[in-house]
Structure 1
């Protein structure tokens, strides 16, 4: 990730669990969850905090 890159939050299935990627001011933070629901709930909260749309475009 690079400075100036737009903020973003993504949820992906990975290695039998779920991963949330949060990009804020060019800094990537990765959080791992064992189930989808907590990952989606966390991602929704991060999107709201960052002022992003509720779901990223496909």
Structure 2
């Protein structure tokens, strides 16, 4: 997440699956997926909903 930015969407590799972290107005919500493709599609939809322009890199940590 970027300091000072109230809204953000990130995809992270998490254990054996994937997690989409959504920060909306400073509140974090996490959605988990078994595979990368559905996670990326969901994240893209959330970025569009929040009016975010770009796709940040996947966090492999």
Q: TM-score range by the shorter chain?
A: 0.7 to 0.9
Q: Which residue of 2 aligns with 1:26?
A: 26
Q: Which residue of 2 aligns with 1:44?
A: 44
Runs of 4+ in 1 over 6 A off after TM superposition: none
How big is each residue's C-alpha offset from its partner over 1:22-51, in whole Å with a ceiling of 9 and x where there is no partner? 000011000000000000000000000000
So what's the TM-score if we normalise by structure 2? 0.81
* Contact 1:44/1:54 (<8 A) preserved: no
Gaps of 5+ in 2: none
For the residue of structure 2 that corresponds to 1:55, the secondary structure is: coil
Gaps of 5+ in 1: none
